[in-house]
Chain A
Amino acid sequence: MNKEKNCIETPAVIDLRKQTREAYSGSKKLLDYESGEIVCLSVSGIGKPGGEAYADAIQTLYSFVYTLKFTLKGAGLLDFKILPLECKWGDFDPATTSAEDWSWTLQIRVPPEVTEKQIDDTARIIQERKGLELTPPERVIENGGRWLQLLHLGPYEKLGETYSLLMKEAEQRNLQPVSGRHREAYLSDPRRVAPEKQKTLVRLCVEEKRRDFEL
């Protein structure tokens, strides 16, 4: 085997965590920070978290992000660290909506250098080899904003408690949540880690409270 022959010249590794440290911090303290727009691979769907559609979306995202990363790295074009899976929830009330009807957008952030053509090429590679009938993720730009963030330790069923804490914090700071823009980032793989040890970053996008006009 000739190792020398296959040494690949790769560009420096892009670590997006370093660009917004707070966004991926495992700190247990409440964080209040601003971040700019980000680029994500994105798959939307409707259905129970952990259900078939949700699991397929996760599989699609991971298949794409790893194939994309190592294809670009092998070609010497781009290299980046893979970030945790994130979820942006639709604007519904989980207390009154059946889990089967929950709408979600699963995302993995990638460097802005990743192009739509590269995503299409990745889809072709996967479909040719695996014959997988899958819809490629979209390249989506998510707006930046001001975020309140807490680390939730424990099962997903109790995420509501952490959202309540964030809402209280927002109220105390005279802030209000921006509708449909709360996000979660999963630091633990739910298939591998016991529910009581699962770490989830919960982010609430907030803005200054608007003053009511008096007519």
Chain B
Amino acid sequence: MRILECVNMDTADGGSMNPDTRNDHIRRVRRVSEYIRNNLDEELTLDKLSREAHFSPFHFHRIFKAVVGESVMAHIRRLRLERATRHLKKTRGPVIRIALDAGYETPEAFCRAFKTLTGFSPSSFRKAIQQTPGSDLGGPGKFSFHDEIKQDLPSIERNVMDIKIENWEPRKVAFVRHLGPYEECGTAWDRICTWAAPKGLLAGGPEMFGISYDDPETTPPEKIRYDACLRVEDDIEPEEDIGLQEIAGGTYVVATHEGSYADFSQTYSYLYADYIPANQWECRDAPCVEIYLNDPNSTPPEDLVSLLCIPVTKKTSGEVSG
């Protein structure tokens, strides 16, 4: 592994900022948001939306969250709910119809979501609005319909973070695919370790990698994909539930994350919204790789150290898939 450059990112300094590159991320995400707004009645899949934004599906959900501050699915839900609120104000259609149009399966679910957003039940909201001519929707509650996409990227509180640029050789790994919430991926690690131990593969400093493919706020829990990977040599063959794959070689942004795995999304958001565009990188069409430097079973969460590795390439002029 060759380290190409090494920087120490301080909280105050985001590196040599390039507004054009950073704005390119905002522009592409804004386009997706427009697309969502104009197609609220369609099935809006991550694949479809990432194509719309010209982002690799491996990175799109994290870039969107980093720029907008909420997940793609939360954004879609909110826009649908906001539209429902407009319908409540301007029409006399039954609440159940409006709830179904907003994508809710039951009026109860719609009522709960509506109350969370506005502080009012749909019927009392409608009553208050329609009985007060001229009032706008900011009337009851403190509710506004303005878009949340920021002109400037969100500033993310972070500790001093070590970030390196590394050039990796491709690595052959054995892996176990876990389908389900990330918090339960320990079963995949148990499986790969119980497979590897009798083969002597856990001795002498084994290299282990995790690949998290999906956004838990967007993808249904049972469909979240995670690969627990162990580097192996060429003579290892796949068997039953043990697959083989290659972790792509090439350039990676490698950031050291100190603390709980639950806070990875903050570090990812900083890298996607700030560091990568500011330093003229763009994401390659390959998944992010996580390297866990200590054992979560014997280390308190605050002492965990992990490397979050994002495959990148130097940005070329014009808009390129990234």
Contacts and interface: CB of A to CB of B under 8 A. Distances in A.
Contact of B203 (A73, A130, A188, A193): A130
Nearest to B306: A192
B10 interface: no
B227 to A, nearest CB: 11
B18 interface: no
Contact of B297 (A3, A5, A82): A82
A199 B303 CA distance: 10
Interface stretch (A36-44, A64-72, A90-98, A141-149): A64-72
Interface stretch (B82-90, B193-201, B263-271): B193-201
B197 A69 contact: yes
Contact of B241 (A2, A128, A129): A2
A209 interface: no
Interface in B182-207: 190-191, 193-206
B193 A66 contact: yes
A8 B189 CA distance: 13
A71 B240 contact: no
A3 B193 CA distance: 15
A74 B298 contact: no
B102 to A, nearest CB: 37
Contacts of A187: 299-300, 303
Q: Is the interface of B mostly helix, strand, loop or mixed?
A: loop
B297 A189 contact: no
Contact of B200 (A3, A67, A188, A191): A67
Contact of A192 (B193, B197, B198, B293): B293
A5 B193 contact: no
Contact of B240 (A5, A8, A66, A127): A5
A66 B298 contact: no
Contacts of B204: 59, 63, 126, 130, 132
Interface string B62-100: 000000000000000000000000000000000000000
A126 B198 CA distance: 8
Contacts of B205: 59, 63
Contacts, number: 92
Nearest to A68: B197
Given A2-B240, A188-B303, A132 B197 contact: no
Given A66-B193, A189-B293, A6 B241 contact: yes
Given A1-B243, A70-B194, A129 B201 contact: yes
B200 A126 contact: yes
B42 interface: no
Contact of A74 (B198, B240, B243, B299): B198
A6 B203 contact: no
Contact of A130 (B191, B200, B294): B200
A1 B198 contact: no
A192 B162 CA distance: 12
B62 to A, nearest CB: 25
Interface string A99-125: 000000000000000000000000001
A74 B194 contact: yes
B265 to A, nearest CB: 22
B288 interface: no
Nearest to A76: B194
Interface of B: 177, 190-191, 193-206, 240-241, 243, 293-295, 297-300, 303, 305
22 contacts: A1-B241, A5-B241, A6-B191, A59-B204, A63-B204, A66-B203, A70-B197, A71-B194, A71-B198, A73-B193, A74-B195, A81-B297, A82-B297, A82-B298, A125-B198, A125-B203, A126-B200, A187-B300, A189-B294, A192-B293, A192-B294, A199-B303
Interface of A: 1-3, 5-6, 8, 26, 59, 63-64, 66-71, 73-74, 81-84, 125-130, 132, 187-189, 191-193, 197, 199
Given A125-B199, A128-B200, 10 more contacts: A1-B241, A6-B241, A8-B194, A67-B200, A70-B194, A74-B198, A84-B298, A126-B200, A127-B200, A129-B199
